[in-house]
Structure 1
Amino acid sequence: MSTFPTRRPRRLRGTPALRRLAAETTLVPAQLVLPVFVKEGATAAVPIASMPGVSQHPLDALPAVVEAAAAAGLGGIMLFGVPAVRDATGTGAVEPDGILNQAITVARDAAAGRLTVQADLCLDEFTDHGHCGVLAEDGTVDNDATLEIYAQMGVAQARAGADVLGLSGMMDGQVAAVRAALDDAGFAHVVILAYAAKYASAFYGPFRDAVESTLQGDRRTYQLDPGNGREGVEEALLDIAEGADVVMVKPTGPYLDVLARVADVSSVPVWAYQVSGEYALIEHAASAGLIDRERAIGETLLGIRRAGAEAILTYWAIEVAQWLRDGKELG
């Protein structure tokens, strides 16, 4: 009598075609969103040293970036503004001619409906102190005063042409405040993406170079404690109750468990942001010859999808979309 195994899972791994057919987790370009930095006053692309391959773009180069993203089949771009002047209340964030609002209009016209134009709704790029909200007299972030500005930002970004507003400030009640302002101003169709479970992470370091952050101190009083998983789920449920159309978990790698838990209970789509530090770690490790760059990129993205993300913000979006279009195997 044969003692060989009767069940042989390896049969489904034998060829690329079989692996594709048996894949539990897949990725398509439309599930990818490209973060884009637009720098006021720039006349050429400005490379970001801590993020190899990523640059700040001048406003007049933005149509070419949008065209590349649309041609790659991406689901969207997420815009961040890098202003020339900042102040205590981030007034550049609400002015119609502020760099981010200008970028939204330029991107909307270039996209022509081929992908979604998304905008970061937060004050950290626009304040001279670098916090995500306005400060009270004692130096703490004033939650409710910040909500008033977020509401103004939301309307300004909607007027500029944004399809999706990415509320990333982690203020209590931000979704309700922005949703009410949008609806009152006639923008009920504009989508709110809530950065619901955004953790106080060391992995944001290179991003702060990208937006030339002036932050002193940290954001632990409003971003989530890295040890708290249940709180991340609670934040997502609160944002859904306030009217969020999509909820986000950020970063990804250390928080895949939170992503999975949010995906299990969410009644709306769940996205994830593969942040700058995650990007930089792979790029620098690969440049040192320590890992296979393409396999590492693919493996991380599949892991994020497997955990439950229905879309992923990643700085590799255009490159990976091309791999997918070429039929390249990820991971």
Structure 2
Amino acid sequence: MTTIQQLDVDLKGKDLLTLADLASEEIIGLIEKAVELKEKTLKKQFDHPLKGKILGMIFDKSSTRTRVSFEVGMIQLGGSALYLNGNDLQLGRGETIADTAQVLSQYLDGIMIRTFSHSSVEELAEHAAIPVINGLTDLYHPCQALADLLTVYEKKGKLAGLKLAYIGDGNNMAHSLMIACTKVGMDVSIAAPKEYFPDSAVTAKCEKFAEISGAKLVITDSPTEAVKDADIIYTDVWTSMGQEAENEQRLKAFHDYQVNEDLLDLAKKDYLFMHCLPAHRGEEVSAEVIDGPHSVVFDQAGNRLHAQKALLVEILKD
């Protein structure tokens, strides 16, 4: 596998609200750090660089991968993780985000939050004296995209020059993939019904990132256009948490956007299939694809641990 050039990364004490906050060199540096930490983890070599550090984890949305990967990551790095259900905090009884941020800063070394409104995470970071990591909002999912880049790098040996096609809702996952790809020089095509296109402000940012990196960004309502000659095919659920009332409407709107074997005949023969999970087989993806030989969805899930460990080490280090 081609080695990414080792780069110095200095993220000490910084927030991660979106990958747009990071320079391309910082993203590459985190991937290289994740590769290093994964090798050590697989050999059961734990250096405990975060001994004595405590990460508070606020959850307003249910989670499997986010909670387990951050909690296990902190333990393996020698620190501790404290689960905080948003409804159990005084936030649930009307305490302001600003006050909560200042109070938690007295006890913790960092905060990871998984919630709905991105503006709430921005406000938390503004008033906290400790780093804040976005574990997911309705607008962005940066930690997943970082793990996805790690997975692509492991499987393909490079990032720049590859093409990723995302088929489905222009949601937080689409936004973070657009940012991640255009930052590191990967072409990215998003296929969605026009009424579900990605946020125009996010698209405008990514167009600027693409100009700098040399990547190509395409937003289309044609799945076949997006998938043609793609190295990576990616999809996500059509109805995310908080959108359950729109489920029937969305099932109709995305009917022709299922990732199946017929569609993938247009991709490169050695394509990777990716999905951030949980998946709904028979909706956004056929069982033959997600359970087939090109699928790397569980490698993606596993790499959440290693990518987030890299992020935690760099942000919380002394």
TM-score, normalized by the shorter chain, greater than 0.5: no
TM-score, length of structure 1 as denominator length = 0.30
TM-score normalised by length of structure 2: 0.31
The one of the two structures with greater contact order (alpha-carbon pairs below 8 A, sep at least 6) is 2
Q: Which has the larger radius of gyration?
A: 1
